[in-house]
């Protein structure tokens, strides 16, 4: 696997531009493409298929990389491939590239080959020829206010409380009590 500009320092790797990778294994590049573009359900199914047929050592190494990259799966056994797959896919969507950096290059190559060759991944490479290979930034996992005014923009503290309550399906009563939902 080639070095990413985000600090990977494996021997023989070199970075080109931010988010771009040079001298990357073509199968790992296809795997990265799937991680960035495939629907979550298809990606999870491809990982389940790949991990179900993988040797115990590969499943353990993948789970160890998931634990290192996402601080998740501490109580999961390597035999629970569906849970491992769900953690890997969700973690990579939230923090792109974290699993790829945490995973041993040999294990990553085996996993990438099995996922790319899985039946669940068939037909998911439609835009691969035009993909620039850039890693996206981390997903915004901020609070969704449901269309309510953004908190912190109201000059009046009472309006601020009402905006907060409206965003959370509640009301603020005039005597200081809380309405439904609190």
- Domain coordinates in residue numbering, the chain: 26-130, 143-182
Which one, of 125, 52, 113, lies nearest residue 85 by Cα? 52
Q: 58: number of CA atoms within 13 Å, CB side?
A: 20
Please name the helix (run of DSSP H) or strand (run of DSSP E) that holds residue 161, with its range, or none: helix 157-167
What is residue 182's DSSP assignment?
A: -
pLDDT score, position 119: 94
Compute the radius of gyration of the chain from its Cα atoms.
21
Q: For residues 31 and 98, what is the distance between their CA atoms, to the nearest angstrom? A: 14
**pLDDT tens across 2-46, in order?**
444 444 443 334 344 345 556 889 999 999 999 999 999 999 999
């Amino acid at each position: 696997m080639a070095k990413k500009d985000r600090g990977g320092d494996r021997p023989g790797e070199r970075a080109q531009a931010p988010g771009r990778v040079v001298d990357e294994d073509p199968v790992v590049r296809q795997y990265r493409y799937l991680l960035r573009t495939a629907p979550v359900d298809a990606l999870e199914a491809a990982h389940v298929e790949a991990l179900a047929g993988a040797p115990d050592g590969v499943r353990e190494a993948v789970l160890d990389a998931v634990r290192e990259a996402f601080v998740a799966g501490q109580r999961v056994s390597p035999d629970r491939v569906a849970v491992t797959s769900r953690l890997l896919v969700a973690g990579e969507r939230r923090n792109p590239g974290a699993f790829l950096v945490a995973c041993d290059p040999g294990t990553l190559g085996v996993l990438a080959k099995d996922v790319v060759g899985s039946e669940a991944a068939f037909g998911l490479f439609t835009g691969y020829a035009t993909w620039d290979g850039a890693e996206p930034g981390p997903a915004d996992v901020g609070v969704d206010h449901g269309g309510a005014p953004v908190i912190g923009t109201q000059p009046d503290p009472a309006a601020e409380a009402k905006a907060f309550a409206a965003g959370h399906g509640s009301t603020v009563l005039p005597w200081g009590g809380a309405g439904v939902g609190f």
